[in-house]
Amino acid sequence: MDLLIHDGKQNLTFAKMISMQRLKLFCLFALIPFSVFAQQPIARPKLVVGVVIDQMRWDYLYRYYDRYAPTGAFKRILNQGYSCENTMIPYAPTVTACGHSTIYTGSVPAISGITGNFWWDSQLQRTVYCTEDKSVNTVGSSSSQGKMSPANMFVNTIGDELRLATNFKGKVVGVAIKDRGGILPAGHSANAAYWYDNSTGAWITSTYYMNELPKWVSDFNGQKWVDKYYQQGWNLLYPSSTYMQSTADDKSYEAKPFGTGFPYTLSQFIGKDYGKIATTPMGNTLTSEFAKAAISNEQLGADAITDMITISYSSPDYIGHSFGPNSMEEEDNYLRLDKELGNLLDFLDAKVGKNQYTFFLSADHGVAHIPEFLKENKMPGGRLMMSDLMKNLNKSLNEVFAIPNMVLSDDNYQIHLNNRAIDSAKIEKKWVTGHILQFLEKQPAIARAFPLDQLNTVPLPATIRTMLNNGYYPSRNGDIQMILKPGYMDAWSNTGTTHGLWNPYDAHIPLLWYGWGIKQGKTNRETYMTDIAATLAAMLHIQMPNGCVGHTIPEVMK
């Protein structure tokens, strides 16, 4: 240090030495090709596997936990992966199309336009099905069940963004028994979406994606899987005495799609009714086998460019609607589904590679207890027979205003008025609205009803107001909103159950993460269905979908 301070020559010599060292380093780095830096790949998994269980309450993770297999999926993911324990749906109605679109878009019906499975379209003046598309045709059968596409969804998906980020080299494929469960998650630019034609027992698609089925799909259909499952029938996986989380078999308030009680003989449906398979656990097996065939034959996850497969298990919804969440059928379904998903994880480990894929599992909605089960156990609940309500409401309106069929639809817990007829008759809409509100307020199942144009002024808890706002798209929503009392549901029969309301039994869903890039642990912080796509975007280093309103869940990621 003294030399640097007192000796100018020494100081100058030292400075030259430093400069020479810097020059040598610069030359060394200059010799390294720029491409070495430019070609460092972004860290991504080989495959993203998105699984949606159609109708899974969050509490099913723990209600049957002690009975889940050590080699199954649920214990494996809960112990080795990450669980967002308090994931909520942030909109209403909580139904299938809205759930599947929201998970993969990070959007809400108010932006995506998917406001229900069906909705009354005020511009078209008719009921619209969420994935209907009359401009396309069925591929794989002669039925009309393939006239479907994602055209009614106004936003893109995380799969679309993956396609964009990889210059359309990454593949995206959707699979589900339900068309909406296969189409909406896969997005607009998907390489394919496949769903089940219950009139033929075959997997089909539409000309939106392709003009003929790939050979592997035709070969899969040729194996007549459903006939084999029907031959097996449906019996309980374990002795009936071990089903301690269920009511007795064959309760009067359960539907009877196959007759009464276990074991269910299904051989009578061979070659006659291919729809019944969806209301059995074999529908899950059929879905898994087709998904595995898609992964193998489309070579998903086979190279360094990330692919995605979206798999929706539709059968839990059919089973849940028919038998309810406290049935032996539901318990058996989830014990079998746990093993089914465990086999899927084993397949992914072998085919793609352990920790080479990112796997997440969620649900599109939950489900309400069967009202008669609640009453049986001294809890409040009931059915609102919606068809009778609408019939009586229209009769009352006609008596007062002399206009028949003033209510056009009751889709998604909303009254859709025949506004054209009201305007033509020069009747003040407020008089019609007032009459309807008085009528609805007398119904014991209805907690409140109000005009939707007053949504942000009527007294409502903030959670419910936000959910209804997030579900509102003007041309696809109605004039009057109905909110049912907790435990009550709209119904079309005296058996079974449904979903669609704001309540936690419909809106609290599981969210599990596993595999590449995932930490081990859990959070009880409130997260939302809309956060799934945002989190995937962060993990994959790609843009969020263009209608995403969710937020990244940082706890999940390594």
Same domain, 389 and 355: no
108-121 per-position pLDDT tens digit: 999 999 999 999 99
In 3D, which of 181, 132, 274, 101 has the Cα closest to residue 194?
Answer: 181
Residues 323 and 301 in one domain: yes
Beta strands in 112-180 (DSSP E): 118-121, 126-129, 138-139, 172-176
Same domain for 317 and 271? yes
Q: Is residue 173 pLDDT above 70, yes or no?
A: yes
State mean pLDDT over 2-25: 45
Q: What is the mean pLDDT of residues 320-339?
A: 98
Domain that holds residue 394: 382-485
116 in Cβ contact with 411 (< 8 Å) = yes
| 423 and 319 fall within a common domain | no
Decide if 116 is inside a domain: yes
Mean pLDDT to the nearest integer, 316-320: 98
Please choose, from the candidates 186, 194, 207, 203, the residue with its C-alpha nearest in 3D space to the C-alpha of residue 133: 207
Identity of residue 207: T
Please check the confidence at residue 515 and state whether its pLDDT lies above 60: yes
- Taking residue 520's Cβ as centre, other Cβ atoms within 10 Å add up to 13
Q: Which of 30-39, 188-197, 230-239 has the lowest mean pLDDT?
A: 30-39
Q: Which CATH number is 397's domain given?
A: 3.30.1360.150
CA distance 456 to 500: 21
Give residue 21's pLDDT: 55
Q: Is 530 a catalytic residue?
A: no
Give the per-residue pLDDT at 260: 85
Residue 33 predicted with pLDDT over 70? no
* Average pLDDT of span 166-190: 98
Mean pLDDT in the chain? 94
H-helix or E-strand spanning residue 320: helix 315-323
pLDDT over 70 (residue 17): no
144 and 107, same structural domain?
A: yes
Give the residue from 508, 379, 400 showing the smallest Cα distance to 90. Answer: 508
Q: How confident is the model at residue 41 (pLDDT cuts 50, 70, 90)?
A: confident
Instruction: Judge whether 93 lies within some domain.
Output: yes
Annotated catalytic residue, options 87, 94, 96, 131: 96
For the chain, how many structural domains are there in total? 2
Q: Do 451 and 510 belong to one domain?
A: no
* 446-497: pLDDT as tens digits: 999 999 999 999 999 999 999 999 999 999 999 999 999 999 999 999 999 9
- % of the chain surpassing 70 pLDDT: 93
- 238 in the same domain as 279: yes
Give the CA dihedral 345, 351, 357, 360, nearest 10 degrees: -30
pLDDT of 14 over the 60 cut: no
Q: Please give the biggest Cα pair distance in the chain.
A: 111
Kindly state whether residues 331 and 421 are assigned to the same domain: no
**Same domain? 208 vs 336:** yes
Residue 540 in this model has a pLDDT that exceeds 70: yes
What integer pLDDT is reported at residue 27 of this predicted model? 46
Reported as a single tens digit per residue, the pLDDT across 430-448 is 999 999 999 999 999 999 9
Residues 421 and 520 in one domain: no
Q: How far is CA 142 from CA 145, 154, 205, 243, 248, in A?
A: 9, 29, 11, 43, 43
Q: CB 49: neighbour CB atoms within 10 A?
A: 25
Give the DSSP H/E element, type plus range, for residue 196.
strand 192-197
- Is 15 part of a structural domain of the chain? no
Q: Both 312 and 413 in a single domain?
A: no
Asked if 408 and 469 sit in the same domain, the reply is yes
